[in-house]
Every structure is written in structure tokens, then in C-alpha cells.
Structure 1
């Protein structure tokens, strides 16, 4: 496996590991209760307690977010890339018949808001795909499109198009789509071998200037205002603001600044917020991945131990940290304890081969 393939597979397996780590301690907003149920430090997979989310699953199993990511991954591998018709067919055939529109029914023990909204429009109201998206402000689209971002890591324009197209199947708010595409673009750069640091956003903005990322550019270099007589720097893009591309480097600078300390790092959930909304989740994931560069274990475990929507936080952090560490840098115990690990690794390996072929 080449370094590129290692990073691509690491991003995918990091997401699955982060998701499975969250099955037991998911959605504890009372941190004292989290500690009583799971101890002072969660360091591996756990089984949900009676009456909690995902009750009935075992330690190391995936819940619904991981199941949908696997569905996306299988579609990419089988089709050689993103095929929207195939992806939608899999949702219609493999997932939606198992749902009834309520939160607690379906594989994994919980169905998220965006999937429920889409199910109601698609199944009950019989809308065609393309008219089923809703306004959930959560990270479910990121959780599946991260595989698309890995697939097109070397093709930013294609990455943005495919991630945006898949996102609007379930979530149509333009700001949500912009932040989802931005996370995908960050993932793509990390798979290419770049570091999540203070310079990453400049690299993303260079892709905006070249037209490879569809964000609106409104300032000159280094975010300076245009001067009289200079060429107009503005580039009209699908997304009105490039701010979603600037967030990662601000978080990285905070992680690097010795005068800014979040101790212990799991308290990032208290700084950026414990809830599910994307604007709480992304800063925390970027911060942890930047602070624990190439230290996959520390990054995902601090994501989990922060409580709240720690499953999404760990899944996103695991993606970024896995891309930096590579599959070879993920401690073996996380692979060994993950149910279906062999199948998931094989899918990740096949996707990584596609990435390598297209970037050769």
C-alpha cells in the first residue's frame, strides 16, 4: 500500500472507528452521568447501558451513521466513483424499508433527523429524489460524503460537485452544503498529504481562486481589501462565502498557540458546544485533529470523552486523524475490536486503489 493509499484507507477506517466508539457513550449531556456509566476515561468500544441510545448493540458494532457510510463506500467501490442513481437505489432498497419515520426504529437503534425527514418525503409522500431534502443543521451528510471526499481527494472540483450533489439529497440549506463541502475539501487535502495547520486554508483559497472549489472569493490575497485600480478579485461561486474554508486553520492556530490551552482536550466540547449542529461539531473536530496530529488515539478518545454528540465528533475527528496517521498509524486494537473490520478494511482498500489510480 502506497502512502497515499494508506492515508485514504486511514480516513475511512478512522471514521468507522470513531462512529463505533460512540455507540456506548452517545449523547450524554450530563458529564457526571457519563463518568458514572463509563468511567473516568473511555478508552475503547463500549456497550450501551439499558435505556440509552443504541441499546441492544454490542461494543464494536456500527450504528446507523456507520451503516450508511458503509452503504456509500460500497456504492463508490462497485461503481468506480460516485453514481447518484446507484446510491439512491441502495437507500431505497437497503435502508428505507427498515425505517418507519420514528427516531428509535431502524438499524443501529437510532435514525437521525435528516434521514427521517427524507424518509417521510420519499416513502410516505412519494417524492422523487431531488425533492426530499430538509433543513436539518446536523452533520449526517458529512458522515457519508467523507467517503466521496476520499474518493476524489486529488480532484477538488469533482469532489465539490459530488459532495454537494449527495448532500442536497437530504439537507438543502446552502450554508450546510457549504460546510459539508468544506470538510470534504479538507479531507481531500489531508489524504493528499497536507497537514491540518495554519496554512491549510490558504491552500483551500488557492483552489477557490483557480476555480476548483465553488466558493465566492471577495478579497485579495491574505484576505486584504482590493485597492483602487487593481483587478477585481471577486469570483462568483455557488457558496456566498469562503468562511467554511477558513475555519480549519483558525482551529489549527488555536491548537498550536501556547497561550490558548484547552485542558484536558476533551473539554473542547464545552468550548465549541456539545450539541449536534454542524457549527458545534466542525470546530471541535478540526481542533482535535490539529492538536493531535498523527496521534489517532488521542484525537478520537478526546472526541469521545467530551460527551454530548460525541459520536459525530469522533467520526469526523477520526476521518481527519486517520488521514494524517494513515491506516498503518491507527493502533491495532481499534481495528481488532471493530465488528466487520475485515470487510470494512477491504472496502477501504479498494477505494484507496481507485484514488491511487486516478492520481497516478
Structure 2
């Protein structure tokens, strides 16, 4: 396989991995009582399952996407149609394709449930008639990064553009600076994996090198290996958009823990208990990093442990699925996951179109 073909396989693996993670968690979504989860779905969920009556996404079929998946598809369609990220086109699609299907309540629209940040953006945009740029709220969830990961894949070979476009897209619906920084950091990690780098203890050093080179907009004053600058010497300061580089340091620490024989989380799905089952981005990202680093090249194990951890397992599975899919490539994803995914063939074709836009 040529380098370009390998790159395209990782692109498709990341995108399809995210769609698959979303759909796998559709049925067993938001079970914080693990005994209840096991009563409804058994001890181990290993394929698409339909939601139970009275649960989130009730009425949808096994293998369908949640609204997060629909937003990811909307973003992907925009990227393919425009040849890259075009904010005006993306916002037009929200205005014309998504928002008319919503009414501001949680249980509405495609996918059966609308997240807090999208509800808040709908309220400001539709009811209050505010312009884009004034519609973001303070939700601390992963909603924006779940769609922006497609932008990260598109700009994996251009880290500065990746950071700029992901930050801008995130700020359309979420304005908390920490959320934006964490979202950009995750996307920067995904970009590294799409390039072919490993999710290992060294990934943070690679990301910090990009900070020092001016490619990632994080503040930094340390020198190599996070050592302090020499007393009395000039500070190697890089004052970026984000206050600290800590969001870039977490992935390396978590990846090191995932392979440290003295640190074991057994079974691996209990990473959800260690890092936290709730929706906030600071719970979700470490668990996704852990599972993707724990099972490099094993897409099925990584994404299924993300699903079986309960809580906000849909976000965890989307984010883990993208990281794991980028590592394994499309060929490492079991065919049953693509065959059982609603509109899987169309989503794969769309992913291949985006891959074709990326030079290798």
C-alpha cells in the first residue's frame, strides 16, 4: 500500500470509526446504573442495539445515528462540497437542514435527542434571531468536537489550519475557553494519528514541538522536555490563544498509563468509572485516550469497551472510535460494523470523497 493509500485508509477509518461508535451506543446510551444496563442488554454489548421504550433515542432502530452522528455527517458533507472548511456553508446547513427540525426541547429532531449546546444555539439563532458569532453557550460537553473531528481529519496534514478551523467551528456553539482548548487538543491528537503517528507517551512531546513551531495556539514557556528556561535568559515564551498547554500534555500521560504494567484497569471499560461517566469533556477525553492507547490496532476492543462503560458512552464511543479507527485504518474495522450501520455505504463513500481531497 502506498503512503497516500495508507493515509486515505486512516482518514476513512477515523470517520467511519466515529459514526460506528455513535450508532453502537445509541441503544445503551446514558445508563448510569450499570445493573440496569446489564438487565436491558446483557453483560457485554458487542453490536448495534435498539433503544428500549422510554429511553433516550426510543423509536430508532439498531444501527441508526444519534443527532451527534447527523451533525458529523452534516459537517462532512460541507467539507466535501466546499473542498475544505467554509464557515458560511456550515452555518447555512445548520440554518436550513437542522434547525427547522428542532423546537428547542431535548426530545426533538433527527437522532431523537438534541444536546444542550445545540438547543442553546437554536434558541439564540431562531427565537432571538441573533447572528452567528453570538449563539454559543457555556455547555462543557463534547458536542462540538464530535462534529469538528471531521475538520481535524481534513486538515491532519496542516496542524495550524486544523487548530484555526476547529476553534472557529467550536465557538459557534460553545464559548467556554477550556472547552475550546480541549476540543482543539483532541483534534490535534487525531490529526497526529491520521498522519500515522502512534498514540503513545511521546505524542505530547510531538504536540509541544508544534506549539514551539507556532502551529498550535497554546501558551508555553518551557524548553525541551518541559524543562524550565535558564535563569536570567530570555523566556522562550509562546503566548497562544489558550492559556496553557495542559490539554496537549494529558494524552501522553494517559497513553503512558495505558501500557504501564503497574497501572491496570480491568476490565478496560471501567476506565469510564476511573475518569468519570458524566458528559463533561474533561471526563470524556481521558477515557477515550486511554481506550485508544490501550488497544492500538484493535478497533473492536477499543470501541466496545467505550460503549460498555455506561454513562455518556455515546460521546466516549464516538471519540474513541475516531482515534481507534485512525490507528487501525478502515481495514481494521470489522465489516459487520459497516454493514450494520444505517446508510453505512453512503457514509463510507462520503468519507472516501474527503480522503481524496487530502494529498499524501
Q: Report what 2:62 is aligned to.
A: 59
Q: Distance in 2 between the 1:256 and 1:108 partners?
A: 36
| Separation of aligned partners in 2, 1:189 and 1:222 | 19
> Equivalent of 2:25, from 9, 17, 22?
22
Q: 1:150 touches 1:355 (CA, 8 Å); kept in 2?
A: no
CA distance in 2, matches of 1:9, 1:162: 20
Unaligned runs of 5+ in 2: none
Q: Which residue of 2 aligns with 1:115?
A: 118
Q: 1:261 aligns with which of 253, 260, 264?
A: 264
Report the equivalent of 1:86: 89
Partner residue, 2:205: 202
The answer to whether residue 163 in structure 2 is matched with residue 160 in structure 1 is yes
Q: Determine if contact 1:7/1:327 at 8 Å carries over to the other structure.
A: yes
Does residue 275 of structure 2 align to residue 272 of structure 1? yes
Partner of 2:221: 218
1:143 aligns with 2:146: yes
Distance of 2:173 and 2:107 partners within structure 1? 19
Counterpart secondary structure, 2:182:
helix
Q: Deviations over 1:274-310 (max 9, x none)?
A: 0000000000000000000010000000000000000
What do you get for the CA RMSD once the two structures are aligned?
0.7
Q: Which secondary structure does the structure 2 equivalent of 1:131 belong to?
A: coil
TM-score by length of 1: 0.98
| 1:95 paired residue number | 98
Alpha-carbon distance in 2 for matches of 1:111, 1:202: 37
Structure 2 counterpart of 1:171, from 146, 154, 174: 174
Q: Distance in 2 between matches of 1:106 and 1:78?
A: 24
Equivalence for 2:345 = 342
8 Å Cα contact 1:48-1:58 kept in structure 2: yes
Secondary structure in 2 matching 1:211: coil
Q: CA deviation at 1:229?
A: 3.5
- Equivalent pair of 1:63/1:109 in contact (CA under 8 Å): yes
Partner-residue secondary structure (3-state), 1:114: helix
Query: Structure 2-normalised TM-score?
Result: 0.98
How many Å separate the matches in 2 of 1:181 and 1:341?
A: 27
Q: Does 1:34 align with 2:37?
A: yes
**Secondary structure of 2:357's partner?**
helix
Classify the secondary structure of the residue corresponding to 2:358.
helix
> Residue in 2 aligned with 1:304?
307
Q: CA deviation at 1:230?
A: 3.0
Please, which moves more after superposition, 305-314 or 231-240? 231-240
